[in-house]
Amino acid sequence: MQRPNYITNLRDWLLRPSVRAKIMGIVLGLVLLLGFGITWQVRANMSANLTAQLQERGVSIARDVAAHSTDLILINNTYALHELLDETVRNNSDMRYAFILDANGHILAHTFDVGFPRGLVEKNSVASAERANVAILHSDEGPIHDIAVPIFDGRAGTARVGLTEKSMNAAIDTLTRQMLLTTFAVSILGIGAAYLLTIFLTRPIRALVGVTQAVARGDLSQKAPPWGDDEIGKLSIAFNNMTAELAQTQSAMLRRQRELSALNAVANAMNTPAPLEQTLDRALRALLTDLDFPAGWVFLFDHNEQIELTSWIGLPRELGAQEAATALRGCPCTAAIRDKQAIVIAPLPDRCPLREGRLRGTDAIASHVTVPILARDRVLGVLGIASADTHTFGADEVKLLEAVGQQLGVAVENARLWDDLREKERMRGQLLEKVIVAQEDERKRIARELHDDTGQAITSLMVGLRVASDACDASTRARFEPLRDIAAQTLESVKRLARELRPALLDDLGLTAALERYVATWRANYGVNADLQVTGFGSDGRLPTEAELALYRIVQEALTNIAKHARAQNVSVVVERKARAVVAIIEDDGCGFDARAVLESSHAESKLGLYGMRERAELVDGKLQIESAESQGTSVFVEIPIQ
């Protein structure tokens, strides 16, 4: 459940002040809370006790008045009653009034100067069996405790007195002021103690905060001063240990970042499509730039295991030729090739050609490292890096360069494999193109022979049957009719086969006429509603011969597959010629199939037709895509570029 906003705001407001303010605020709050709480409790208890004492004193006064007024009432000495009441009021400062009622409730005497208040008699009463009855009356002067006491068991009347709380309230207020002053004094002492406490607590914390801010800015050299063996002192020690470990970790991370940056730079350089020599040259430049090395080179072994210079950066090219000439003739660098491990040469041997080189124009080469370029534990070449310092190549740098060497080895091997694969693919394409050309030529030859030789032979046979039929009687002529029908059907089948093998319309009138003829024949043979739309060809709608033949064969194969497998009711063929390409779409509403599963299937028979369509499209630099799903029909998209 999400907290209300006001709770979050209150928490933020309480946490905003400093630690010193919090400590002093807590101490002051506790002192004030304790002081005010005790003051309130004492005031409440004292008020209750004084109120009870006031009422008890009032009862005593009223009973005393009742006792002294009994005889005076019986002898009807009103003057003496007044004197008794006045004297009682004078002797008790808290008494506001006193009066005596007879048995019938009539006022016999009172101490009011300006007249007896109306309704006062009815405010309190006492039964004859009661000792006294106390009633709290509210007046302009504050609460008045009215006490009624029966005189002579009520047979002589009632004595009533009224006591105010002025003296009691004055005593309570005096005590309250004294306690508040005490609370104030204790608060001052508490603030002083809290201030001293915060000095001891916050000073090391503030120092620690300063060190923490310095660490946050990246300065890990700052140390927190120790403040003793308490928790803060232990925290300072722990913080100093943490910064020391962070410094070590930062150094390791910077070193690792440098390594990763170099590897990433090399990888990015090698991932850009380019010839192998350019790729290696770009990778070497990226490595030198990222690691701030002045010069480097790459040698590769050719197919005859001879060293050839591939990349040379930061030094004269002539030195590279000399280095390549002497690389396998007593040079210490050959140990890297033999042992398949990087080797640091420092100082350079006397016969080393690199002694003549100058880095950045002025600095002599003091050392260099030779790193084998490995791929599957086979040395493909060497990577060399030169430096003007003999101590440049430590264990970390050598390890990094060995990783770069392995990365370059993978790149070199992949590049060579890709070259071999591209060459094989080129040869396969040429072979496939020749196979298809030979196939089409053979189709054309067989179609021509079927049309010319076989067709003419069957036509001659039909003419001979007619001549023989005309020379016979009616009964014999009837036997020739089935033979003539069989010959006519055979002739039509031969013509259809010749058209399917190589339609003459494709060579004579172009793709549009050939597709119209083929789709019409396919619709009649299979009884499927097939629709053909050809747009964008204009009056001179001929395409290059290769493109026309590829599109015709792809449409033919697609319709053949639909007739064999799709169980479709409707088929649509759309061919559109655009500015730079011709697009064909063949769709059906048949049962569909999982195209990916079929193409990845191990059964060659189930995917030869699909691969044949794709190969024909790729031979003319086209693209073919098949979209299909179970019970959702099939769509074949073909796009062939044209000039």
pLDDT per residue as tens digits for the range 382-401: 888 888 888 878 888 888 88
Q: What is the pLDDT of residues 598-624, one digit of tens each?
A: 766 655 555 567 777 888 888 788 899
pLDDT of residue 438 exceeding 60, the answer is no
What's the average model confidence in pLDDT over 336-354?
Answer: 80
Residue, of 263 and 593, whose pLDDT is higher:
593
Q: 405-419: per-residue pLDDT in tens?
A: 888 877 777 777 777
Domain 275-403, CATH 3.90.1010.10 — does that match? no
Give me the pLDDT at residue 564, please. 87
CATH class of 20-175: alpha beta
Would 20-175 and 275-403 be classified into the same CATH topology?
A: yes
Whole-number pLDDT of residue 451 = 58
CA atoms within 13 A on the CB side of 538: 7
470: left (phi over 0), alpha (psi -120 to 50) or beta: alpha
Residue 4 has pLDDT above 70, yes or no: no
What is the pLDDT at residue 456?
A: 67
Average pLDDT over residues 582-592: 91
Q: What is the mean pLDDT of residues 225-234?
A: 71
- Output the pLDDT for position 327: 61
Average pLDDT, the chain: 80
Whole-number Å distance between alpha carbons of 150 and 456: 159
Whole-number pLDDT of residue 425: 67
Mean pLDDT confidence for 315-336:
73
The 10s digit of each residue's pLDDT in 354-372 is: 777 788 767 788 888 888 8
Could you tell me the pLDDT band of residue 444, with boundaries at 50, 70 and 90?
low
Phi-psi label, residue 377: left if phi above 0, alpha if psi -120 to 50, beta otherwise: left
Residue with the larger pLDDT of the pair 111 and 508: 111
- Give domain 508-641's CATH number out of 3.40.50.410, 3.50.50.60, 3.30.565.10, 3.90.580.10: 3.30.565.10
In the prediction, which pLDDT does 450 show? 60
Provide the pLDDT for residue 400. 82
How many other CB atoms sit within 10 Å of the CB of residue 575? 21
Cα separation, 154 vs 141, in Å, equals 30
Give tens-digit pLDDT for 21-33: 777 778 778 888 8
CA atoms within 13 A on the CB side of 210: 10
Q: Which of 169-183, 322-336, 506-520 has the lowest mean pLDDT?
A: 322-336
User: d(Cα 53, Cα 41) in Å, to the nearest integer?
Assistant: 18
- Tell me: pLDDT of 242 over 90: no
Average pLDDT over residues 513-540: 85
Boundaries of every domain in the chain? 20-175, 275-403, 508-641
CA distance 599 to 611: 8
pTM: 0.42
pLDDT reading at 502 higher than 60: no
Q: For the beta carbon of residue 415, count every other beta carbon within 10 angstroms.
A: 17
DSSP per-residue letters across 351-369: T-GGGG-EETTTEEP-EEE
Strands (E), 330-474: 343-345, 358-359, 363-364, 367-375, 378-387
Q: What is the pLDDT of residues 99-155, one digit of tens each?
A: 999 888 888 899 988 888 888 888 888 888 888 999 999 888 889 999 999 988 888
